[in-house]
Homo-oligomer: A and B are copies of this chain.
Amino acid sequence: MTFDPKDCGTCPIRHRAVCARCENDELEQLEAVKFYRSFEAGQPVIWSGDTMDFVASVVSGVASLSQAMEDGRTQMVGLLLPSDFLGRPGREFAAYDVVAVSNLTLCCFRRKPFEKLMSQTPHIGHRLLEMTLDELDSAREWMLILGRKTAREKIASLLAILARREASLGLRPQAKDTVFELPLTREAMADYLGLTLETVSRQISALKREGLIQLEGKRQVIIPDYAALLAQTGDDCDGAIMS
């Protein structure tokens, strides 16, 4: 089944996005106000303060939300992957800078009709609540990383998170090694982790030197022993979030 933009039934994120719980009649109403937009890697999607007349789901690719300080320091505060939701119903102006980290396709809904639909039907609101609570949880995990971890632990944590997501997609046949493509540049990783890109580079080199990771080119990461990497994150291993 290939993806037909006219038919939500064939959409790759149909069962995980904000529309996951919608009945057919709700989907039809959404389809009436939806449109697709694509961005190339590195392109801005919207700047903080701009008027935002749509909300959107990420169909493919990766987008980042960042906040800037007046002197130019910047911190990534959200990383949007396929099926994640962009925008806030009821908010007219964007609160963050949004950038396409990789090539990106959004499924956009005009904001006003979306809000109206949300107030009339329960499924969108419920799903959005669930997704927002999940995002709050990951924001809190992220806060622990930013506030208390060393540079080495930060890098290990990020790699572990990406590897875990890769595994959860379940696409990979039972390979011993976890392999994935880094969707972020060194600079974006630094932005994510509250480090400089030099420190990121040094720590990745160190992990490679010690055999905890291998690199195929700059972006392909191979993790020969996931547990060994986890041990470098500093996390309390049995303290996993249960939901």
Q: List residues of chain A with CB under 8 Å of any chain B CB.
A: 48-49, 65, 67-71, 73-75, 77-78, 88, 90-93, 95-96, 122, 125-126, 128-130, 132-133, 135-137, 139-144, 146-149, 193-194, 234-237, 239, 241-243
Contact = CB atoms under 8 A, between A and B. Distances in A.
Q: Shortest 6 CB-CB distances between A and B: which pairs?
A: A147-B194, A77-B140, A146-B146, A139-B139, A75-B147, A70-B236
A69 B141 CA distance: 11
A133 B89 CA distance: 10
A143 B75 CA distance: 8
Given A67-B143, A73-B148, 18 more contacts: A49-B239, A65-B140, A67-B140, A68-B239, A69-B144, A69-B236, A70-B234, A70-B237, A75-B147, A90-B243, A91-B243, A95-B241, A95-B242, A95-B243, A136-B136, A142-B143, A146-B147, A147-B194
Main secondary structure of the interface of A (DSSP, over half): mixed
Copy number in the complex reads: 2
A135 B143 CA distance: 13
Contact of A69 (B67, B78, B130, B234): B234
Given A125-B129, A129-B132, A143-B77, A68 B236 contact: yes
